[in-house]
């Protein structure tokens, strides 16, 4: 009998929510910097590479349509990656 039983494992929901929010906010800030700071031709290239592979959906768009799709689809992609990274880090650190 183990004198110090471990509590049951839970999903790190708080960390996952924080990862979702951080990913979406980082993406929004990065898109804002690129959209305002880069010239017209280069901003499209940077936004497409920044959101790859999701950007293949909106590859043919330009102007404000590109900005809207990048913010929406790319924001969801970055939020999911942030949540998955937070979940993975939580699982790895719980093993130790």
Number of domains in the chain: 1
- Structural domain includes residue 1: no
- Structural domain includes residue 3: no
CB 23 within 8 A of CB 83: yes
- Structural domain includes residue 77: yes
9 pLDDT exceeds 80? no
Using one digit for the tens of pLDDT, what is the confidence trace for 60-90? 998 999 999 999 999 999 999 999 999 998 8
pTM of the model: 0.81
For residue 35, what are its two tokens?
């959209």
Using one digit for the tens of pLDDT, what is the confidence trace for 31-50? 999 999 999 889 999 999 99
Domain that holds residue 23: 14-95
Contacts of 89 by beta carbon, 8 Å cutoff, 6+ apart: 15
- Structural domain includes residue 37: yes
CA distance 95 to 1: 21
- Structural domain includes residue 61: yes
According to the model, what pLDDT value does residue 22 have? Answer: 96
According to the model, what pLDDT value does residue 90 have? Answer: 84
- Structural domain includes residue 64: yes
95 pLDDT exceeds 80? no
């Amino acid at each position: 009998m183990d004198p110090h039983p471990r509590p049951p494992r839970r999903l790190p929901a708080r960390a996952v929510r924080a990862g979702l929010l951080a990913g979406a906010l980082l993406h929004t800030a990065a898109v804002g910097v690129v959209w305002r700071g880069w010239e017209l031709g280069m901003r499209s290239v940077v936004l497409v590479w920044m959101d790859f592979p999701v950007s293949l959906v909106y590859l043919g768009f330009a102007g404000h349509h590109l900005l809207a799709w990048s913010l929406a689809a790319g924001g969801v992609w970055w939020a999911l990656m942030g949540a998955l990274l937070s979940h993975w880090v939580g699982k790895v650190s719980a093993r130790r």
